[in-house]
Amino acid sequence: MDVLSARRIVLLGKTGAGKSSLANTIFGEKVFNINHSPMTEEYQSSAETKCVNGKNITLIDTQGFFDTCGSEESLKADVLRCITECAPGPHAFLIVLKVEKFTKQEEDVIKKIRQCFSEDALRYSAVVFTHGDQLPEGKAIEDFVGRNKGLSELVKECGGRCHVVDSKYWKDNEEGSYRNNRVQVAELLRTTDKITEENNGQCYTNEFQKQPQRGEQQQIPHLIQRTRQKVSS
């Protein structure tokens, strides 16, 4: 399958937010391993491509870039790896959060995303909430977002784009209902199409990707190797 012709989508968020579960929900099968380790350096980004609803989709499942227990070296190595795996650039970012209280830790994750990928990345982003079973009965995800100023501002910066899934309880729900993963995934993929349309078909790039410095390119294998050595030691 030609990865370059696929829609490339990067999943961002802290460990435990449900990135791998979301990726598996989008693909409709278990493709990514679920990481339960508290050590972010034991898990690195990976990319898989599958056909979903007649379209080739590449999902880049990142490690918990922004966890406090991860080193700066590990963070830089995985950001560089993510950039190379989704070259020439992602069509969309999915910022993954749980349906739970939006704390300072989540706010810090968003700050890190801005620092690593620039403010411009939010024009290519949608917020996706996991653990949808925590939504009060009869409520939509927009109701949950509207109750928190920080979440409301984040979703607004992402063009009002937000979705919700649940990897445990929404698999077998009535077809066509709001609390059905197939319905939510179809809506999510339509949103990524709109993101690409609104950006004139262009994938996301920043100055680092447009004009990578020779030293930074040379650092990629070196940083990845050093990170692996840390894990094995």
How is the beta sheet containing 7-12 ordered, strand by strand?
46-52, 55-61, 7-12, 92-98, 125-130, 162-164
Query: In this predicted structure, what is the pLDDT of residue 219?
Result: 43
Query: In this predicted structure, what is the pLDDT of residue 111?
Result: 87
Contact 82, 40 (CB under 8 A): no
Query: In this predicted structure, what is the pLDDT of residue 15?
Result: 84
Query: In this predicted structure, what is the pLDDT of residue 221?
Result: 40
pLDDT tens-digit map of 52-97: 988 999 999 886 666 655 566 776 677 777 777 788 889 999 999 9
- Tokens 């649940």 label which residue? 166
Q: Hey, what's the torsion of the CAs at 21, 26, 30, 31, to 10 degrees?
A: -100
pLDDT tens-digit map of 148-207: 999 999 999 999 999 999 988 898 777 778 999 999 999 999 999 999 999 998 888 865
Nearest to 198 by CA among 232, 160, 145: 160
At residue 5, does pLDDT exceed 80? no
Instruction: Set out the domains of the chain in order of their start, with CATH numbers.
Output: 3-232 (3.40.50.300)
pTM for this prediction:
0.83
Average pLDDT, the chain: 80
